[in-house]
Structure 1
Amino acid sequence: MLSRIKAKLSGKKKGLQFDIEKQQKIYTFLNKYATPFGILLFLIGTCWILLLPYDGYSKRTYISENALLPGQVNVYYGYNDIRAAEEYRDKLQSIQTLDITERSIFIQTELRKVGFTAATQLFDMDGLSGINAFAIYRTPRSDGKEALVLSAPWMSRTGDHNTNGIAALLSLAKLFKRNVYWSKDIILLVTDQGNVGTQAWLEAYHGIEKKGQATLSSLSMPRSGAIQGVINLDFPGVNDYESLGLFFEGVNGQLPNLDLINTIRVVAQNTARIPITLHDDIDINNAESGTMGSYWNSLKHVLKTMEYQVVGHPSSDAGQYLRYKIDAVTVHGIHGSNQLHALFGFHRIGVLLESTFRSLNNLLEHFHQSFFFYLLPNPSRYVSIGVYMPPVILFACSLIFQSLVLYYLDPKALEVDRQEASSRKGTIKPAYSVYKRPTIFPFLILTIVHVAGMVMLYVMQPSTSLWLNKTFNDQALKIQIGTLCGISTVTIFAVSLWVTRTGSPSHDGRILKSMCLAGSAMVLATVSLLNFSLAVSTSMAIVVPYSLVRPTASWFWRTLQCLLLSVLSPIGLVLLYSHLIGTDLIVIVSQLMFDYQVVQSWFIIFVCLVYWPTNMAMHILVFTLNY
């Protein structure tokens, strides 16, 4: 065996020359087709995502937790409860124009009349103040360790008063009180200021006190046990509704357990006989019948979910609960004119909520049997994580493959191989040849741009915003946006000028691009596990452009590539998005700031520390000399 190995290692020059020429052909092929192959992987992944809304790539939803038994109980929400809801609706119409103090006292008084332990909570968070009203029914058969929540905001997502939603909540309070089969405490909550009020109540309920925010001490706040499930009511106005929409997206792309959504769907379809959809979109099958009509409806629902998840914005007040490992869904009444013969009002709303709460009352432990990672093309079908994750892996493989080719298959090193092979007279080069690659320069560039990203994140901090608001009032947000643009521009210009002026051979754009692509691939693979939609959107923005961008001596191509990268920068994308939806840039950025500072969205952190630094590094790459 040793003699055979020795004979192979002592081969003649002709065999060595042949091996080097063979390697050279392989290297040349990989260098030439690495980028097209990466783009091909991207196209395959994109087609895969577009196929997900088809029924062939999804499965029918089912109840995993057998204890829920949705729709298997007799409901008692009847004529007297409907009359009570109508009376509450009339009272709410008369007080909804009053200030929040009088409205919250009204809710507190009505719930105390029913027999609940009621209280109000004053809060002041980030300049938004309000009063929440809530009550707890400590059921006779409960040990106080578990609770269910029925909540309703004063204002609907449509901008109207949530009159029917709060009226239904108050009428259900009487039904909850007169029945003794509840095994969990029931909490009724009416929130003010939307997400801010919900966040303030959750922090106080869980004992999180922040100076200058909630004024009701968590020590004196009435509370029950661990919250097992939440239904948030959003029924705007005083008229009947055409269909029921479900909003289930939480902060940073979190989703409730699929069993909760399935329970509401089964009860709505089988017990309450209510048409159900996702979000506030009514599926119209008359215009486009057949498979394609179903596909476009499903694609619309998937894209709507991804739109909420990308920026980490909760689609409703219920999304706030998911941060505390509490499964929650908002049920939204949708007005329409397509099915006027099938409108529903308080009766079917009450039946839906009573039957759903009866199912949640059966829970023996926290939701855990079903999925927490899924996509919903429609209420009755889901796409599991094993089906929708491969496209993101393909996007990451596209970038990492190109990164490895750029790092290991250096044409200069290949030329050294060829020259050494021709100069060695019968001697054999070592089995493993090591070529020193200039890694200090790319590491220095990446360090500079990430430091700039940290400065950007500091500019977006609540303390900075507070100081700017005191100093510049309404111009504070514009100053922050201008500062971010200034930091990015100065960083790119200064480093690019240094690179072009020095012209050092160590300023290797090939290694810099390799590290940028490798870092982007790592980010996509990691983020996809936490927020699939953010990973997909980032891939769509960067995979093809970053694959094509390269150093060039032509000022025309430099300018063209810099313009492309500027459009793909965070400011460029926000400007493009604001133009497409017809919303002012300041409004969009202020919403992102609110999500970051109040509901603790990670999106701005991701942009400042991950996405924007890589974008700046790719700008600098254009001005490097070697490739």
Structure 2
Amino acid sequence: MGILTDASLNQRNHLGRNFLKHNRKICALFYLAGAVWFCCLGHSQFNHATYLSENALSPGLVYSEIKVESARIAQNYLDELNREREVYRSGIPYNWIMAKMQQIGLEVYTHNFTLHYPLGSGREFHGENIYGILRAPRIGSTEGIVFSAPYRPPESVHPDITASVPLLLAFAEFTRRKNYWAKDLIFLVTDREQLGMHAWLEAYYKGDLEDASALDAGNLKGRAGALQAALNLEIQDFDAEYLNVKIEGLNGQLPNLDMFNLIQRIAARELPVREPCGYKQTSPRKRAKNKNAVLENVKAMLSMLLSQANGVPTGNHGLFHRYRVEALTLEAVKKPKSDYQSRGAAVLPLLKVIEGVSRSLNNLLERFHQSYFFYILVSNDRFVSIGDFIPCLLLMAGPLFIKAFFLWLGLNVEDPEMEKCDEDEKQAESSQTELKPIVKKELDLQYSKVLRIFLIAHLIGFLASVMPENRGLNEVFATLGLSSNQFITGLAVVFSIVALLAPHIVELNYDGVELLHIVTLLELASVLVVVGLLNFALGFLLSIVIAPAAILVDRNHNASIKCLNRFYVILLHPLIVSYGVVLILTLNAFPELGLLAVAQRAIGATMDALTYSVVDSIIYGNWVYNAVTIAFLSNWMMLWRVVCYTKTEEGRPKLKTS
């Protein structure tokens, strides 16, 4: 019976009430700590200088062997290709490219693929890639390196990168005359941008395996060794102003940091000062001087996270990462104005950069493993490792775990208004010799009803994820004359309405809603951490938006505060968040337009973004759409049920003695 009169029970009860009283301050403290931590990473004391971890990459940093003769060959190839482009306005001059590869001495193959468009009436798109293989003269075909260039016909809406193919062929001609290659070299020209690269990789790794996906990747007639690395070229002109290095891959994956550092060091040696090279490089004329270094570093980190968050590759290189092949894209941006005398000024430096990269990769005896795979670039020569930036995510998601703990604690302590009664009871107990039982709260957590809401929410999220792929629904909407954008947007609106109404099917009392709130916070925090480990950018940016829900959403407020909470939760709806992001991007892209015009344009852009996210999910395996619908939409529904609780449903259970 001693435990019934233990004074520490009342002390813990009092301590629990104090925690509950200051739970918002504690959650806000963790949230601000995460934001401050991230900002501190922009200071040089909290980040690191880049370096080459793999000594085997050093050969590319020595004297270059490529001469001006190769630059003249590249320029001649470009002139010939421009004449061919006048004939092939909407296609690829296959015969010309194949003839040049055969003339160089490569094993030349073509690769056909077909895309059965997963939305709408199921149109088919056909494409054909061309690739040549230079077999390693010093060893069997055990390993390979890919050099690729996408071909864009004159009618393409993308920036012109015609010079990529001539540069690729000129480098292939140089490699054919050397005998020190220990790896097979693959020179690939892809059709239809990333789709062609995706189809080629699927065929290279899966071969004759049957696949029920929308993409019929076909088969490859010729293969090389196991791919070790890849370099993708996007050369806008041979008179380049600067080089931009693209590293973001599918689902936010990045190449090994050594790959990026190698490009930086070789480019710094081979390129003139007037042609800088770097990540998200811009024109020297657009760079302001005397800026705050820390502020600029934080902006650079946020810019990189924004590029990673959507999970869309910034170039063809991004599709290699899923196969554990380190790859990046080298983009040469042409000058706004150029004259005939400077025509082809950047050809030889570009060829030297490619040669240096290829010789370094040729010397590798094993896959990249020494340097980082998870990092944030602060600048071209400084970075932040995963051990330094992952605490930001944990501190941002921490308030969700903390709030869930405080809510559970609140279920097991007496109400704040009972504190005065407790003091009276203590005085009475001190004046009496008779033992009195402690007061316990009768809980009715309604586990079955909470589980029912949990299952309903996740079922709706799962249906929202898989319904756009349904062939029957697509055909029905196609017969009605609706486009894919209208079909996807219509489904999103329908599921949004269902998400608003479905959780109210099940009635809950006070403790049941409290338990649902705890479950929602725990799952949401766990999802943020897991997503952050897979794609830190997405997890971190979502935590910035979602974590305040743990601080602000509280049902113990007056009517006006409750309305504000509901309004805030509505703003957290995935569809509203998507529109808000697109609206901000549209404002930045079209500052000259009025607010109404920007809002209307943002609606159309949001419809396109939803459609593209579904297509990327089906074809490429981008899991951002699936994560948002299955995890975040489901949790939003449960959080919406929490903030919509009213006392008219059922009052809080009374206290009883035992």
Answer yes or no: is the 8 Å Cα contact 1:468–1:476 preserved in 2.
no
In terms of mean alpha carbon deviation, does 551-560 or 488-497 score higher? 551-560
Answer yes or no: is the 8 Å Cα contact 1:456–1:484 preserved in 2.
yes
Kindly tell me the number of residue pairs found equivalent between the two proteins.
608
Q: Residue 3 of structure 1 aligns with which residue? A: none
CA distance in 1, matches of 2:532, 2:503: 32
- Unaligned residue ranges in structure 1 (runs of 5+): 1-8
CA distance in 1, matches of 2:495, 2:51: 51
In terms of mean alpha carbon deviation, does 470-479 or 596-605 score higher? 470-479
* Among candidates 520, 533, 536, match of residue 537 of structure 2: 533
Q: Are 1:145 and 2:134 matched, yes or no? A: no
Q: Secondary structure at the match of 2:45?
A: helix
* Among candidates 550, 559, 565, match of residue 561 of structure 1: 565
Q: Residue 249 of structure 1 aligns with which residue? A: 248
Alpha-carbon shift at residue 279 of structure 1 (Å) = 2.5
Cα offsets for 1:560-610 (capped at 9, x unmatched) = 333322221111011112222225222212221232122111101110111
For residues 514 and 364 of structure 1, do their structure 2 counterparts lie closer, same or farther at Cα, with a shift above 3 Å needed?
A: same
Letter of the structure 1 residue corresponding to residue 307 of structure 2: Y
For residues 165 and 65 of structure 1, do their structure 2 counterparts lie closer, same or farther at Cα, with a shift above 3 Å needed?
A: same
5 Å matches for 1:48-63? 48-63=37-52
Letter of the structure 2 residue corresponding to residue 580 of structure 1: I
5 Å matches for 1:75-90? 75-90=64-79
Q: Residue 384 of structure 1 aligns with which residue? A: 385
Alpha-carbon shift at residue 462 of structure 1 (Å) = 6.2
Q: Secondary structure at the match of 2:133?
A: strand
Q: Are 1:169 and 2:190 matched, yes or no? A: no
Q: Secondary structure at the match of 1:245?
A: strand
Q: Residue 314 of structure 1 aligns with which residue? A: 313
Answer yes or no: is the 8 Å Cα contact 1:122–1:130 preserved in 2.
yes
For residues 556 and 255 of structure 1, do their structure 2 counterparts lie closer, same or farther at Cα, with a shift above 3 Å needed?
A: same
Q: Are 1:232 and 2:232 matched, yes or no? A: yes
Cα offsets for 1:160-217 (capped at 9, x unmatched) = 2211111110101110101111110100001111110100000111124536866674
Alpha-carbon shift at residue 517 of structure 1 (Å) = 1.1
Cα offsets for 1:228-248 (capped at 9, x unmatched) = 110000111x35112111111
Q: Residue 112 of structure 1 aligns with which residue? A: 102
Q: Cα RMSD over matched residues?
A: 3.2
* Among candidates 543, 548, 551, match of residue 544 of structure 1: 548
Q: Are 1:492 and 2:481 matched, yes or no? A: no
Answer yes or no: is the 8 Å Cα contact 2:445–2:511 preserved in 1.
no
Cα offsets for 1:436-463 (capped at 9, x unmatched) = 6443333322221111101111223264
Answer yes or no: is the 8 Å Cα contact 1:69–1:359 preserved in 2.
yes
CA distance in 2, matches of 1:113, 1:197: 24
CA distance in 2, matches of 1:38, 1:70: 52
CA distance in 2, matches of 1:552, 1:479: 41
CA distance in 2, matches of 1:289, 1:281: 17
Q: Residue 460 of structure 2 aligns with which residue? A: 452
Cα offsets for 1:456-485 (capped at 9, x unmatched) = 112232646753564345433323222222
CA distance in 2, matches of 1:129, 1:106: 20
CA distance in 2, matches of 1:466, 1:24: 58
For residues 576 and 143 of structure 1, do their structure 2 counterparts lie closer, same or farther at Cα, with a shift above 3 Å needed?
A: same
Alpha-carbon shift at residue 556 of structure 1 (Å) = 4.7
Q: Secondary structure at the match of 2:22?
A: helix
5 Å matches for 1:82-481? 82-97=71-86, 98=88, 103-125=93-115, 126=117, 127-155=124-152, 159-208=158-207, 209=209, 210=211, 217-218=218-219, 221-236=221-236, 238-273=237-272, 274-282=275-283, 287-289=288-290, 292=292, 294-336=293-335, 344-410=345-411, 413=414, 418=422, 426-427=434-435, 437-461=445-469, 463=471, 466-467=474-475, 470-481=478-489
Q: Residue 4 of structure 1 aligns with which residue? A: none
For residues 146 and 625 of structure 1, do their structure 2 counterparts lie closer, same or farther at Cα, with a shift above 3 Å needed?
A: same
CA distance in 2, matches of 1:212, 1:446: 31
CA distance in 1, matches of 2:479, 2:95: 37
Alpha-carbon shift at residue 20 of structure 1 (Å) = 4.6
Cα offsets for 1:495-516 (capped at 9, x unmatched) = 33653xxxx5366322221211
In terms of mean alpha carbon deviation, does 321-330 or 477-486 score higher? 477-486
CA distance in 1, matches of 2:347, 2:482: 44
Answer yes or no: is the 8 Å Cα contact 1:458–1:464 preserved in 2.
no
Alpha-carbon shift at residue 268 of structure 1 (Å) = 0.5
For residues 57 and 435 of structure 1, do their structure 2 counterparts lie closer, same or farther at Cα, with a shift above 3 Å needed?
A: same
Cα offsets for 1:399-419 (capped at 9, x unmatched) = 111101101222764559959
Q: Secondary structure at the match of 2:288?
A: coil
Answer yes or no: is the 8 Å Cα contact 1:251–1:322 preserved in 2.
yes
CA distance in 1, matches of 2:217, 2:608: 31
Cα offsets for 1:90-139 (capped at 9, x unmatched) = 12212235166651232112101111011111211234322111111112
Q: Secondary structure at the match of 1:572?
A: helix
Letter of the structure 2 residue corresponding to residue 246 of structure 1: V
For residues 184 and 614 of structure 1, do their structure 2 counterparts lie closer, same or farther at Cα, with a shift above 3 Å needed?
A: same
5 Å matches for 1:504-519? 505=509, 508-519=512-523
Alpha-carbon shift at residue 427 of structure 1 (Å) = 3.9
For residues 539 and 96 of structure 1, do their structure 2 counterparts lie closer, same or farther at Cα, with a shift above 3 Å needed?
A: same
Q: Secondary structure at the match of 1:382?
A: strand
For residues 190 and 343 of structure 1, do their structure 2 counterparts lie closer, same or farther at Cα, with a shift above 3 Å needed?
A: closer
Alpha-carbon shift at residue 353 of structure 1 (Å) = 0.3
CA distance in 2, matches of 1:212, 1:483: 22
Letter of the structure 2 residue corresponding to residue 371 of structure 1: Y
Q: Residue 578 of structure 2 aligns with which residue? A: 574
Answer yes or no: is the 8 Å Cα contact 1:242–1:343 preserved in 2.
no
Answer yes or no: is the 8 Å Cα contact 1:100–1:130 preserved in 2.
no
For residues 93 and 339 of structure 1, do their structure 2 counterparts lie closer, same or farther at Cα, with a shift above 3 Å needed?
A: closer
Q: Residue 33 of structure 1 aligns with which residue? A: 22
**TM-score of the pair, normalised by structure 2:** 0.85
Cα offsets for 1:4-55 (capped at 9, x unmatched) = xxxxx74895xx4x54543343122111111221012101101211222222
Letter of the structure 2 residue corresponding to residue 268 of structure 1: A
Answer yes or no: is the 8 Å Cα contact 2:147–2:186 preserved in 1.
yes
Answer yes or no: is the 8 Å Cα contact 2:450–2:515 preserved in 1.
yes
Cα offsets for 1:63-85 (capped at 9, x unmatched) = 11111105433322222111110
Q: Secondary structure at the match of 1:242?
A: strand
CA distance in 2, matches of 1:556, 1:497: 25
Q: Residue 585 of structure 1 aligns with which residue? A: 606
**TM-score of the pair, normalised by structure 1:** 0.89
For residues 468 and 188 of structure 1, do their structure 2 counterparts lie closer, same or farther at Cα, with a shift above 3 Å needed?
A: farther
Q: Residue 621 of structure 1 aligns with which residue? A: 642
Q: Secondary structure at the match of 2:61?
A: coil
Answer yes or no: is the 8 Å Cα contact 2:393–2:540 preserved in 1.
yes
Answer yes or no: is the 8 Å Cα contact 2:202–2:217 preserved in 1.
no
Letter of the structure 2 residue corresponding to residue 483 of structure 1: L
Letter of the structure 2 residue corresponding to residue 537 of structure 1: L
Cα offsets for 1:508-550 (capped at 9, x unmatched) = 3222212111111111222221111111111011111343123
For residues 342 and 48 of structure 1, do their structure 2 counterparts lie closer, same or farther at Cα, with a shift above 3 Å needed?
A: farther
Q: Residue 6 of structure 1 aligns with which residue? A: none
Q: Secondary structure at the match of 2:331?
A: strand
For residues 217 and 610 of structure 1, do their structure 2 counterparts lie closer, same or farther at Cα, with a shift above 3 Å needed?
A: closer
Alpha-carbon shift at residue 284 of structure 1 (Å) = 6.5
